[in-house]
């Protein structure tokens, strides 16, 4: 439940103080983005003892119940796109003496050799200025400890934000994931392999506010379930960032077998990928997705030369987004490790693109070559076959 309440508080209430940045630049649309951010915060913490969630000026505050530990809440907030930074904080009445006493209690159990007080007086009619608050609280802290004041690199920062009817105090500021709240940027369909790249591509588009539907092609009955199991686990990881996901598992082996029978070896990989786009596009239309997402990186493999990328994308009428196109493998791997998908992606499997693959693949394909290669294929039938055989799974987080 989201509340605007700002009643004066004498007893401190603990929770998470959340700041946003990019959302603040949205002008008249800011309310739309904030509403989605609030919905995502509640979704991310729905199994924890948290709430209410309030919207004090320019920030959010999520109260923590007695049954919730910060160690449980912290990783949840670190994955909610739209958050610039967040802090374990307490809120109470904007009374300087009450604040000083409470801060004394808080710091008395901490070990630090240097500190600073960083007060921000958003309530301009508050009797003391920000500097006066800094000096008064700083003197009280020094009275109970031997720490020195260090304004540039302190061991401890006492941060105070004073609003008209309440004041927030916190001692650390943690980086959020930034970006825009998932659900504000439309829906996309991501072609998810079992490799390193495509999960990172999906994650980057989530960060821009997009909700992702996943489409994974596997080679059953000619391969085992390893790639499907990997896809499910990858989507399980990525669902921690968007809270609900749908994954389509598309059997592609028989379609590949027909391509092998009718298309020369060097062009088969391009035929596979063009058919994948056609099938994914049909699923995208069903899901209301406005574009497709791939994990392609220019020049990384033979099918990702600029000529082949152009030849492949002609099979789709939807826009194709490639958020990794200018990244190298080290950069992508580093992001996969940060997302949490890397260890799953490197599990060996029988990927459908490695099945029925010729020794040499075309790297510079012309539109005329593609047109001639596809003539023996009943593209409409193969596309409908792939879509009809797709099996969907629903995943959610938490749970």
What is the distance in angstroms between the CA of the first residue and the CA of the last residue of the chain?
A: 20
Residue 295 among known ligand-binding residues: yes
Residue 334 among known ligand-binding residues: no
Cis omega before residue 221 (within 30°)?
yes
CB crowding 105-125: b at 16 or more within 10 Å, else e:
ebbeeeebeebbbbbebbbee
Residue 326 among known ligand-binding residues: no
Residue 192 among known ligand-binding residues: yes
d(CA 183, CA 186): 6
Largest CA-CA distance found in the chain, in angstroms, rounded: 86
CA distances to 9, 73, 323 from 172, rounded to whole Å, are 22, 15, 33
d(CA 209, CA 33): 9
Residue 273 among known ligand-binding residues: yes
CA distances to 255, 265, 302 from 360, rounded to whole Å, are 20, 8, 9
Residue 121 among known ligand-binding residues: no
CB 339 within 8 A of CB 238: yes
Dihedral sign for Cα atoms in the order 169, 173, 174, 175? positive
Q: φ, ψ for residue 127 (rounded to 5)?
A: -55, -35
CB 273 within 8 A of CB 215: no
* Secondary structure letter of residue 217 according to DSSP: E
Residue 292 among known ligand-binding residues: no
CB 50 within 8 A of CB 67: no
CB 42 within 8 A of CB 3: no
Helix or strand (DSSP H, E) at 345: helix 342-345
CB crowding 264-278: b at 16 or more within 10 Å, else e:
eebbbbbbbbbbbbb
The annotated binding site for ATP is made up of: 191-192, 216-217, 273, 295, 304
The annotated binding site is made up of: 191-192, 216-217, 273, 295, 304
């Amino acid at each position: 439940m989201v509340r605007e309440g700002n009643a004066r508080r004498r007893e401190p209430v603990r929770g998470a103080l959340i700041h946003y940045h990019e959302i603040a630049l949205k002008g008249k649309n800011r309310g739309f983005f904030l509403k989605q951010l609030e919905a995502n915060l509640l979704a991310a913490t729905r199994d924890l003892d948290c709430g209410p969630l309030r919207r004090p000026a320019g920030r959010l505050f999520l109260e923590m119940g007695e049954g919730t530990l910060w160690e449980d809440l912290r990783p949840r907030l670190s994955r909610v796109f739209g958050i610039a930074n967040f802090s374990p904080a307490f809120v109470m009445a904007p009374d300087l003496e009450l604040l000083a006493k409470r801060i004394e209690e808080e710091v008395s159990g901490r070990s630090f050799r240097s500190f600073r007080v960083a007060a921000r007086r958003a309530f301009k009619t508050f009797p003391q200025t920000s500097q006066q608050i800094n000096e008064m609280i700083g003197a009280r802290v020094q009275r109970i400890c031997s720490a020195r004041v260090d304004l540039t690199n302190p061991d401890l920062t006492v941060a105070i934000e004073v609003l008209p009817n309440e004041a927030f105090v916190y001692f650390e500021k943690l980086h959020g994931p930034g970006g825009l709240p998932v659900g504000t940027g439309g829906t996309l369909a991501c072609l998810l392999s079992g490799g390193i790249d495509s999960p990172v591509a999906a994650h980057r588009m989530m960060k821009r506010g997009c909700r992702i539907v996943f489409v994974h092609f596997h080679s059953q009955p000619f391969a085992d379930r390893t790639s499907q199991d990997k896809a499910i686990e990858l989507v399980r990881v990525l669902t921690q960032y968007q809270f609900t996901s749908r994954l389509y598992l598309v059997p592609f082996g028989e379609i590949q077998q027909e391509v092998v029978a009718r298309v020369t070896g060097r062009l088969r990989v391009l035929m596979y990928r063009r058919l994948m786009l056609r099938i994914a596009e049909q699923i995208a239309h069903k899901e209301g997705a406005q574009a497709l997402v791939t994990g392609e990186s220019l020049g990384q493999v033979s099918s990702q030369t600029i000529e082949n990328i152009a030849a492949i994308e002609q099979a789709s009428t939807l826009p194709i987004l490639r958020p990794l196109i200018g990244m190298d493998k080290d950069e992508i791997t580093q992001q996969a490790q940060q997302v949490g998908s890397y260890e799953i992606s490197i599990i060996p499997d029988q990927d459908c693109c490695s099945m029925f693959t010729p020794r040499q693949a075309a790297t510079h394909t012309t539109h005329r070559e593609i047109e001639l290669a596809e003539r023996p294929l009943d593209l409409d039938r193969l596309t409908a076959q792939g879509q009809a055989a797709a099996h969907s799974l629903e995943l959610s987080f938490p749970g």
